[in-house]
Homo-oligomer: A and B are copies of this chain.
Amino acid sequence: MRNLRIKLAYDGTDFHGWQVQPNRRTIQGALQEALAEIEGDTVEVHGSGRTDAGVHALGQVASFHLKNRIPADNLRRAVNRLLPDAIRVLEADEADADFHPRRRAISKTYEYRIWRGEVCPPFSSRYVYHHPYPLNEEAMAKAANAFAGTHDFRSLAAGGEEKESTVRTIFSSRLEKDGDLLTYRVRGEGFLYRMVRNIVGTLFEVGRGNFAAEDVARILAAKQRSQAGPTVPARGLFLVEVQFRAATGS
A: residues with CB less than 8 A from B are 9-11, 56, 80, 85-90, 119-123, 125-127
CA distance A36 to B219 in the complex (A): 48
Max chain B CB contacts within 10 Å: which of A11, A89, A121, A123?
A: A123
CB distance from A167 to the nearest CB of B (A): 34
- Contacting pair A125 B89 (CB below 8 A): no
For A125, the chain B residues whose CB sits under 8 A away are 11, 85-86
For A127, the chain B residues whose CB sits under 8 A away are 123
Max chain B CB contacts within 10 Å: which of A10, A56, A89, A121?
A: A121
- Contacting pair A122 B90 (CB below 8 A): no
Q: Which of B56, B90, B122 contacts A85 (CB 8 A)?
A: B122
CB distance from A126 to the nearest CB of B (A): 8
CA distance A87 to B9 in the complex (A): 26
CB distance from A124 to the nearest CB of B (A): 9
CA distance A87 to B119 in the complex (A): 10
CA distance A10 to B10 in the complex (A): 22
Q: Which of B56, B88, B120, B126 contacts A120 (CB 8 A)?
A: B88
Q: Which of B10, B120, B121, B123 contacts A122 (CB 8 A)?
A: B10
Q: Which of B85, B87, B119 contacts A80 (CB 8 A)?
A: B119
CA distance A87 to B121 in the complex (A): 8
CA distance A122 to B125 in the complex (A): 14
CB distance from A83 to the nearest CB of B (A): 9
For A121, the chain B residues whose CB sits under 8 A away are 9, 88
Q: Which of B11, B56, B87, B122 contacts A11 (CB 8 A)?
A: B122
CA distance A126 to B125 in the complex (A): 13
